[in-house]
Structure 1
């Protein structure tokens, strides 16, 4: 679907959630987020802060082509013969065409209720046309720094700045040794634009961080990645 333009604003594609979300909850954070997918934008829903963090991490990959939030439920049968339904949190499609059904659960839920075992029965009932693989995500799969980096990257991609992005990478390749992001920004003379451009370059793989953790002004970067 192509976004409709209204008074210069491109209206994002609506959520495709298969079920109605109860927006009022004292136990979890619920809402919507607009993701940029190639040349379009799409609204997706989340029903917890964990779901929000996970979809931001997934979208920071750079090869996300489509997100189906709360897709149609999958019917499956347990060994005792009881019949059930499971709704994946997201089905994501990458630019290479691969489709992943994503289940997101807190690690304590996975361990307490043997959800990974249950997911095996769900996978066995998964139609071939629905997804190529199934992914289970919890807070144990990423660090707080990775989540913060993904959140900041999302904010920094709301307003593209291709000139700054190209310039910061060119300046990086003029350096003969690794340098901290703060010095790279000073050499680029881009000011605040330089930090956002450098941040995007790191997440997108155009610059290589030489340390793990939260990306900041003192992050050491290298221009080893070929242009």
Structure 2
């Protein structure tokens, strides 16, 4: 898998692959580092230990988050959430602003499927459709369906992928959970104040 900065990502499990896919598909993530350098922390017994996070994600604003990806059963069995809280208290701010635990319960099948679609549309080359939709979205008030926006393009495919590309780039925001489809509601993303 290729990250947002075009670097190849490696992962050790299917759960890590799903987490990486969802993270890479987020328009606010500009860098995803797999297996970043380990951090040192003092354990409950006073001994020094090292922990390697699964990912270090950098958001567009520059904020970094260290991410641990673990199956729920392993978290319960090893009391990993408590261990991670201890590690988080000792992570230097220069390394990450926060620590996030991701389990399989946090990534739905829809989220994973959507992430694959969101990444694939970035390779599309219908720039005319993209430019036209960008203009339309600029005057969009409230929510509308993907199909409604796509129909404005008068394309054989209904403009579905062009609309999804705008979601992928953060120009449009999906409203609510579920699998991306022509019936999905979207709205214009809020623009940052200049």
For the criterion TM > 0.5, the same-fold answer is yes
**Counterpart of 2:77?**
112
Q: Which is higher, the Rg of structure 1 or of structure 2? A: 1
- Aligned partner of 1:133 among 90, 94, 98: 98
Deviation of 1:66 (Å): 2.2
Q: Using the alignment, how far apart are the partners of 2:142 and 2:35 within structure 1? A: 47
2:184 matched to 1:216? no
- Counterpart in 2 of 1:200? 165
Q: Which residue of 1 aligns with 2:153?
A: 188
CA contact (8 A) 2:151 2:158 kept: no
| Greater Cα offset, 204-213 or 58-67 | 204-213
* Structure 1 unpaired stretches of 5+: 1-32
* TM-score, L = length of structure 1: 0.71
**Larger strand proportion, structure 1 or 2?**
1
More helix by share: 2
**TM (normalized to structure 2)?**
0.81
Tell which has more relative contact order, 1 or 2 (C-alpha 8 A, sep 6+): 2
- Structure 1 partner of 2:2: 34
C-alpha deviations, 1:99-120, integer Å up to 9, x for none?
1111111112112211110112
CA distance in 2, matches of 1:131, 1:210: 29
Partners of 1:137 and 1:75 in 2: CA distance: 21
Cα distance, 1:211 vs structure 2 = 4.5
Alpha-carbon distance in structure 1 between the residues aligned to 2:72 and 2:130: 37
Q: Secondary structure at the match of 1:44?
A: coil
| Pairs aligned (count) | 191
**Residues 118, 164 of structure 2: 8 Å contact kept:** yes
Per the TM alignment, residue 188 of structure 1 is displaced from its structure 2 partner at its CA by 0.8
- Number of the residue aligned with 2:25: 60
Tell me if the contact between 2:72 and 2:105 (Cα under 8 Å) persists in the aligned partners. yes
Q: Report the 3-state secondary structure (helix = DSSP H, G, I; strand = E; otherwise coil) of the residue aligned with 2:180.
A: coil
Residue of structure 2 in register with 1:121 after alignment: 86
Kept after mapping to 2: 8 A contact 1:185/1:191: no
* Counterparts in 2 of 1:174 and 1:128: CA distance versus 1, 3 Å: closer
Shift of 1:51: 1.1
Contact kept in structure 2, 1:178 and 1:221, CA below 8 Å: yes
Q: Is the 8 A contact 1:205 1:225 kept in 2?
A: no
Q: Cα offset for 1:173?
A: 6.5
Match of 2:121 among 156, 159, 180: 156
Structure 2 unmatched runs, 5+: none
Cα RMSD (Å): 2.8
